[in-house]
Amino acid sequence: MFHNLEKQVEAAFRERVRARYGIDAEITIEQPKQASFGEIALPVAFQLAKELKQAPRKIAADLLAGAAPIPGIAAMEVAGNGYINVRFDRAAYASSLLAGQTAPLPKQDGKIIVEHTNINPNKAAHIGHLRNAVLGDTFVRMLRALGHPVEVQNYIDNTGVQVADVVAGFHYLGHKTPAEVAELIATPAGDNSRFDYLCWDLYARTSQHYKDNPESLSWRAATLHAIEAGEGELAELAHIVADAIVNAHLATMLRLNIQYDVLPRESEILHLKFWSAAFELLKERKAIYFETEGRNAGCWVMPSSAFRAEGDENEDSKVIVRSNGTVTYVGKDIAYQLWKFGLLGKDFFYRPLLRYTDGHEVWVSVDEPQPRPAPAFGKGAAVYNVIDVRQSYLQDVVVAGLRALGFEREAEKSIHFSYEMVALSPRCCVELGIELSEEDARRPYVEVSGRKGLGVKADDLMDRLVETALNEVASRHPEDNAAAQRAIATEIAMGALRYFLLKFTRNTVIAFDFQEALSFEGETGPYVQYAAVRARNIFRKLEERGESEPEYATELTAEAFSRQLGAGVGHVSPEAAGSAKGHGDAPANPANKDEFWQILLAASKADSAVERAVTAGEPAHVARYAFQLAQSFNNFYHQYPILAESDREKKTFLLWMTRFFADQLERTLAILGIAVPAYM
């Protein structure tokens, strides 16, 4: 709604500037610094000042003089040195909100592929992985809210070094047969022997063993070889381990309400010869060449000119195919990226992996035809790869690959949705009993390392959050049964976690700290949830009193809105107040009308907030908006008793405000993937 008016104002001024000055200017729209300045501010006069060689104030005045009225706009005035401030017709605005006149979402076409999570299936997920998944999932929800068809992919590197290391650990260090490992998965030995946790420790142990006994690195080579050949006990182990860990990851992420559409696996990239297809293409179009000299002799490489910025003096080219003929990770990634755009001329086969309780199915790639037809995966119009910023260099190489193949448009639509890492704060390390080297102790934070087993496991953190929330719930609602309390506590805990991971902008390093993450007060998920719960409570109480929600549409006429919100004109501008104090014949609206208006206005901006956040690629903007909205509501809630209001019209109005607020807040929370608990 807000957005509609914004666009109308923009169009009107663009036309006005063209008519008046013959200039086709970009009209920028701002939110005024102060609410009393109106709803929209236009600095257009400043932009034109130089070109026209006139004072901004004069230009602004000229633009307003004799301008046609804009529907929905009550007043426009020149302010400051040349700002044009625009005030909405409040009653008209509220009426259209009531009528639900949100712009029908233009059907967006072109499927957007978002790839996120991508955890190596060799150990339990940690907080760094959570940031990836929550960021990715929230971005998906944002895109879907704007009407985009989205496909969520979670790439599984089930044939890589990390899986091999755990397999080697089981085989060589633990002397376990595939049957024994399968048994471990099926029937864990005790409380602390979840398979993914067990692998977490084994991975760290194996890595340490390699470090202490470099000669045993031959285990890794042997395992990788076996996996690639797809034969023998080691290969079997790899499948068992990776499949079990993938299931564990899916379960972990489901706790946060994160789902996927398809899991493309590296094993199928290999078996279905995706790479050979890409290799032929790369050779044919001369995107890579065979190096005959230097240290990369015998390799197929991509020249540095393809992916380095101009002026970058680092001229190392990137190896795509090793001298022993095997393909590097980047090579496989280029093939995968080509497939995502439907440019490879090949596709996976798929089988359903699991069905979520809501009926949605996740599919996984397989290497042979299947009886059940699968949805059409891949062939995206745009691709977002949610990967941390440390992989920027490799992502650049992948995009350069597309470009070198002549897929300019697809290269343009390949977006590295990067984010900074989650590290551990010094205090967090102390709490975890991690001994830091002197060097690390001086750092502002310590990097998480799966190889060292250094990190906070995702499920441990979630468990702790649930327990903390449960304490609160149990003390506030001792009357409810334990199971219900836990269900509520879980929703609160997950809301807290998602919000915590989302409130930082993408390129901020999160120095993880338990105290901050476990907080339920202030700028947190539970704060926002609480506002939504309070709004719902009002309607519950209303019902308990035997009253029903009014017929807003019939009771709240434009005149009623006008009485409750004020007109939107008649503000005393700061300078008018200064120069003509006491002479103003149009008194300002009473404070509470302005306040209602500000709250309503803020609540109506949910769509704009999401749109802005998508454009900026910044889910944190939506999180922040939700928090601000909750803040306004809490303030409103505290200041104006609603059910006790004696004036009929005002009560109806306040109830409608609450309803509108609740709807907008809940919609925004849904986009953040945060539930609204039944009580708090």
Partner RNA sequence: GCGCCCGUAGCUCAGUUGGAUAGAGCGUCUGGCUACGAACCAGAAGGUCGGGUGUUCGAAUCACUCCGGGCGCACCA
Binding residues among 499-558 for RNA as defined by CB under 7 A? 503-505, 507-511, 516, 519-524, 526-527, 530, 534, 537-538, 541
User: Please, which residue, 331 or 374, has the CB nearer to RNA?
Assistant: 331
**β pairing state of 318-321 and 300-302:** antiparallel
642 binds RNA (CB under 7 A): yes
Percent helix, percent strand, percent coil in the chain, to nearest 5: 55, 10, 35
Question: What letter does residue 171 receive in the DSSP assignment?
Answer: I
* Least distance from RNA to the Cβ atom of residue 254, Å: 22
Q: How far apart are CA 87 and CA 72, in angstroms?
A: 9
How many chain residues touch RNA (CB under 7 A)? 105
Q: How far is CA 232 from CA 219, 289, 456, in A?
A: 14, 35, 35
* Strand ranges of the sheet holding 446-447, from the earlier edge strand across to the other edge: 446-447, 422-424, 510-512
User: Please, which residue, 152 or 397, has the CB nearer to RNA?
Assistant: 397
C-alpha closest to that of 530 among 627, 640, 619: 627
* Least distance from RNA to the Cβ atom of residue 308, Å: 8
C-beta separation of 596 from 564 below 8 A: yes
Of 439-468, binders to RNA (CB under 7 A) are 443-444, 447
User: Please, which residue, 91 or 299, has the CB nearer to RNA?
Assistant: 299
299 binds RNA (CB under 7 A): yes
User: Please, which residue, 46 or 558, has the CB nearer to RNA?
Assistant: 46
Question: What's the distance, CA 348 to chain centroid?
Answer: 28
Among 107, 295, 581, 583, binds RNA (CB under 7 A): 295
665 binds RNA (CB under 7 A): no
Of 87-146, binders to RNA (CB under 7 A) are 120
User: Please, which residue, 421 or 675, has the CB nearer to RNA?
Assistant: 421
Of 2-31, binders to RNA (CB under 7 A) are 28, 30-31
Of 563-602, binders to RNA (CB under 7 A) are 574
Of 268-287, binders to RNA (CB under 7 A) are none
* Least distance from RNA to the Cβ atom of residue 314, Å: 5
In the numeric block, which tokens belong to residue 237? 């182990």
Of 359-418, binders to RNA (CB under 7 A) are 389-394
User: Please, which residue, 181 or 227, has the CB nearer to RNA?
Assistant: 227
* Least distance from RNA to the Cβ atom of residue 353, Å: 21
469 binds RNA (CB under 7 A): yes
**β pairing state of 112-115 and 150-153:** parallel
Enumerate the β-bridge partners of residue 263: 364
In the numeric block, which tokens belong to residue 303? 């020249």
Among 214, 311, 359, 373, binds RNA (CB under 7 A): 311
* Least distance from RNA to the Cβ atom of residue 271, Å: 16
309 binds RNA (CB under 7 A): yes
Of 326-345, binders to RNA (CB under 7 A) are 326, 328-330
C-beta separation of 113 from 383 below 8 A: yes
Place of tokens 């400051």: 80
C-alpha closest to that of 112 among 88, 70, 92, 140: 140
Crossing angle between the packed helical segments 232-255 and 195-212, to the nearest 10 degrees: 130
Q: Containing H/E element for 401?
A: helix 392-404
Of 38-57, binders to RNA (CB under 7 A) are 41, 43, 46-47, 49-50, 56
* Least distance from RNA to the Cβ atom of residue 13, Å: 14
User: Please, which residue, 299 or 400, has the CB nearer to RNA?
Assistant: 299
**The one segment of 209-217, 226-234, 581-589, 634-642 that binds RNA by CB under 7 A:** 634-642
In the numeric block, which tokens belong to residue 98? 């009531």
Question: What letter does residue 86 receive in the DSSP assignment?
Answer: E
Q: How far apart are CA 258 and CA 133, in angstroms?
A: 7
